[in-house]
Structure 1
């Protein structure tokens, strides 16, 4: 793909650095991944710095706009400090501020970077599969600033999409600057996304797994990106820690999994997550396709409409504004003593089952209004909110129904976070690790595995990331790789070799007879044999046409052996990739097949159509492994 935003040639002072990086990669690293391995830590540094800048700017905007102007001060999260909790004190600001934020964000995005629209992760996935890892240089900046405005003005969105594009954008920029290959550019782009997510969520391993796993609908991962993503996430997290002390976002009590008897209860949570996840995806894309796209208004105005409608909902439920992690901590998990003021309860006494469930369902609508209208922000934060509130509601119900079981609703809230996001994102491993790292606890690893796996299994037909493809086989980024890989698995003796209807021409056949035979034949390739029947050459229709033009009056002296070219053959043990290369080199549709050892006795002709048919059958077998491949 042509680069729509070419990068200028670096100056000499940077050229020395770039040459050194390439030298180190070539000298010390393995071929094909060396330069990516050398560059990944640098991408991690920039991703970590980007996460610091994004978080500090976002906190400043939230504090100034929502806190000082609107009067909304959500409960603190585990990384915050104790402060009074308050609700909006001026109703018209609840309507105005989200609408104004949506308008500013829409103007920025649709004026300078329309691809920054929406939750951002889909743009990353699309750039990997179909864009050659290309992200325009301005996109990360516009995406980051517009997302800060959207979330800071109360929009129901998260940080994973924006910060993923910030890191991925630098990875793509650096790859273009160093003139790396498209495959290397894709890997560096993923490494940047992993670094940004790992830093801002204090989850380096989860960020690395997410970047590798989110590309596909199935359990497939981009395995080649794992090491670069790990390297970038480690460095990004460490860089982030230089400026902001990394603490778990959620503080959880001492939670325990009590064994087999609790598994059915968590399985019930998995079913609930699958049902609400289906609703979430339907509402999210239904609003985009049936509400905002048909709306006869300029695109940059539609996020303002979404913000206004969100403000109407927030008049009754202000908890729906922004990501809402603090409300999950206070209402579903419980506040730790270190974050509780003297006159503040550990739990929000008003957040009972009905309110928690209502917030979970209404958050699906609020997120659709913010992002599906064209606003900028991620879907991870809202997903964590929905899963936490849903799990907290179910936990309270089960605790009331089974008082002797000593259930803790906080455990269901925590498991609900990972289980819900796993289903809508198709990233179960990343969801498990992200929630464990964000809470600083692995005590609920087993129920997390159950709920994440169950929800992914139940929700195969829908996803919040519509740019995902089923598997690497279906990705245009891997199309060439899999053609070669599949053809190398198949041998010539596994494919039909034609032995009937062949036009075998003795090498001493006069040219005039050759012309008559070719004219009356439907064949396109003609093997030439000697007196013992051994293959000595081949000629095609094109060779005959050239001979007709060049022989002139010498036609009577020309025989079949004169117009034949040395045979390029394959043996039954050769793979189909070798056969296809030789067909391409000769510009023919068939190749002679001869024994692997012994004289060149013709066994038959291998046709391009039969080769393609075998390849297609093998691809179908890979997509449906329960069905045997038919050669």
Structure 2
């Protein structure tokens, strides 16, 4: 009670002394700091666990603990999520998108900390997923719950969710511009100019929090020494197309693997088989362990031989072609490993795996070309980074986020031209065959959909039960025309549902159907309603969403359609009623934006 009184007094003070815009700016800074702090805690926890588990491993021996670690991590994460937090891991960013679209941007409070713990265990013990998605969930949950605490509306809660996502990504990568664009391109989709400032503040505060707590300890530590050459552009064109194809493979393999795991009804068997299979993949291909960013740093720094040293099979060979086979197998296996980690009960996301696969692909592309020895040599670091951008663009359908994120983590804009080029080519190649991002496809696999436009978003807010009209007079199919005439005299509508004793809709009658005979006294007493009725052009059900309702109106060309619930007639819906409800929602949304 005392807590509620304190919040109430604060809100009253705020209304008197702070405008809504100023209040949002202050909240965005606070959320940026909290999201940055959560990102630092998660990143340091994962690195500490990994160092503790693997620092005594010898490169000259097979390290069999690689087989066991993922199973332990996935099991611990699932049990904590299932029985302690009541928040099992899985897809992070898709769930945030669905919450914004369908749940008025209200995220459960437990998500402000649950994913930090379960993701630390999953990734720290070798789960082949990334920390970015859990941090986006955590930051978004912080934004949503802060907004709910101070009684903000859904529109402002959504903006604070974007602030939390921007603060988390900025803290992880040290890329404030890329983080803002990611929040706009992936999380918020639509944003006004005034909403852009809070995202900037949150992103900057998240990055500053990370800098203050851990300094310049970024995910990628390297300096580009080679310059961009226009003569490399034909190779970047080819790389962009290859990135698009691999993006398709990545998305489809993740979804196929997840569907395969869903066939296991027993969660214990799912964790056992999934964890064991993942462990064996990590044992033979140690770069698959965890996020994999350390492997990319090794490649970018020009020490590719180091990634073979921990493999019990490939370390015995010293052949550039076998090394290429090793890299290609990692590209093939990483999406499977990521899907197994998530599908078995682990917590994480595919953000980092897509960057990892892109980096390996870019390095392998340039390395293979240089081994052939024709034309000019290609810079390995450049192609590694640019391909990371290409995969992120193709898998997540976020080309701008990919461009600015990689540009910032390289410490400059030396690669801006090839980043833009490869991102565009990869996106075009992928979207030609697959219109939706992996996040959207994962939601569709769960039977969930997102609104692709503001019109559809507003329609989704209209409850079908609120627009049903029940002022139409039903008539029995065995009634005579004279009884219908009596209803016409008192009805304000020109359509009459024909309903039997069991409340089943048998058909409809309109004034046009009886206009020519309604004044014929002989027919009034002899013609039955069942002889005049006809089927409606479409039937609506109370379980349908409003987009489906509008599709039926469009297809049928009707202005009024009957509604059925559990097989019984309940009323009609008219286009004009829907348009009126839509207009009211639009007015309320605009008033909410002004406030």
* TM-score in terms of structure 1 length: 0.66
Q: Does residue 376 of structure 2 align to residue 405 of structure 1?
A: yes
Deviation larger for 16-25 or 180-189: 16-25
Q: Does residue 452 of structure 2 align to residue 471 of structure 1?
A: yes
Work out the CA distance in 2 between the residues paired with 1:67 and 1:472: 50
Which of residues 39, 61, 66 is equivalent to 1:94? 66
Work out the CA distance in 1 between the residues paired with 2:487 and 2:405: 72
Deviation of 1:276 after TM superposition, in Å, equals 1.3
Q: Does residue 414 of structure 2 align to residue 447 of structure 1?
A: no
Cα distance, 1:423–1:22 mapped onto 2, change above 3 Å: farther
- Size of the alignment, in residue pairs? 460
Work out the CA distance in 1 between the residues paired with 2:581 and 2:5: 49
Q: Corresponding residue for 2:398?
A: 427
Cα distance, 1:22–1:434 mapped onto 2, change above 3 Å: farther
Q: Corresponding residue for 1:39?
A: 27
Matches within 5 A, 1:45-124: 45-68=33-56, 71=57, 87=59, 89=61, 91-113=63-85, 115-124=87-96
**Cα RMSD, aligned residues only:** 3.4
Please give the per-residue CA displacement for 1:507-527, whole angstroms capped at 9, x wherever unaligned. xxxxxxxx99973998669xx
Q: Corresponding residue for 1:273?
A: 243
Work out the CA distance in 1 between the residues paired with 2:318 and 2:166: 38
Matches within 5 A, 1:106-505: 106-113=78-85, 115-215=87-187, 221-223=190-192, 225-250=195-220, 251-259=222-230, 261-290=231-260, 292-298=261-267, 302-334=270-302, 352-401=323-372, 403-460=374-431, 461=434, 462-465=436-439, 466-467=442-443, 469=450, 471-473=452-454, 476=457
Work out the CA distance in 2 between the residues paired with 1:116 and 1:209: 29
Cα distance, 1:213–1:349 mapped onto 2, change above 3 Å: farther
1:129–1:477 contact (8 Å) kept in structure 2: no
Work out the CA distance in 1 between the residues paired with 2:62 and 2:367: 33
1:332–1:393 contact (8 Å) kept in structure 2: no
- The structure richer in helix per residue is 2
Deviation of 1:306 after TM superposition, in Å, equals 2.0
Q: Secondary structure of 1:249's match?
A: coil
Please give the per-residue CA displacement for 1:303-338, whole angstroms capped at 9, x wherever unaligned. 4432211111122111110111111121355269xx
Cα distance, 1:245–1:522 mapped onto 2, change above 3 Å: closer
Cα distance, 1:24–1:388 mapped onto 2, change above 3 Å: farther
Q: Secondary structure of 1:257's match?
A: coil
1:21–1:39 contact (8 Å) kept in structure 2: no
Gaps of 5+ in 2: 305-316, 444-448, 463-484, 496-558, 561-572, 583-595
Structure with greater Cα Rg: 1
Please give the per-residue CA displacement for 1:245-296, whole angstroms capped at 9, x wherever unaligned. 135532142232212x432211211111111111111111111112x11113
Cα distance, 1:215–1:232 mapped onto 2, change above 3 Å: closer
Matches within 5 A, 1:8-19: 10-12=3-5, 15-19=8-12
Work out the CA distance in 2 between the residues paired with 1:134 and 1:39: 17
Work out the CA distance in 1 between the residues paired with 2:384 and 2:378: 12
Work out the CA distance in 2 between the residues paired with 1:522 and 1:391: 70
Please give the per-residue CA displacement for 1:45-96, whole angstroms capped at 9, x wherever unaligned. 111111221122112111112334xx2xxxxxxxxxxxxxx54956442221
Work out the CA distance in 2 between the residues paired with 1:448 and 1:349: 33
1:9–1:177 contact (8 Å) kept in structure 2: no
Deviation of 1:13 after TM superposition, in Å, equals 5.0
Cα distance, 1:194–1:475 mapped onto 2, change above 3 Å: farther
Work out the CA distance in 2 between the residues paired with 1:105 and 1:255: 43
Deviation of 1:10 after TM superposition, in Å, equals 2.8
Deviation larger for 162-171 or 402-411: 402-411
Work out the CA distance in 2 between the residues paired with 1:207 and 1:9: 38
Work out the CA distance in 1 between the residues paired with 2:2 and 2:275: 43
2:74–2:344 contact (8 Å) kept in structure 1: no
Work out the CA distance in 1 between the residues paired with 2:578 and 2:197: 35
Work out the CA distance in 2 between the residues paired with 1:476 and 1:613: 14
Gaps of 5+ in 1: 1-7, 72-85, 337-347, 482-514, 526-588, 591-606, 617-631
1:24–1:38 contact (8 Å) kept in structure 2: no
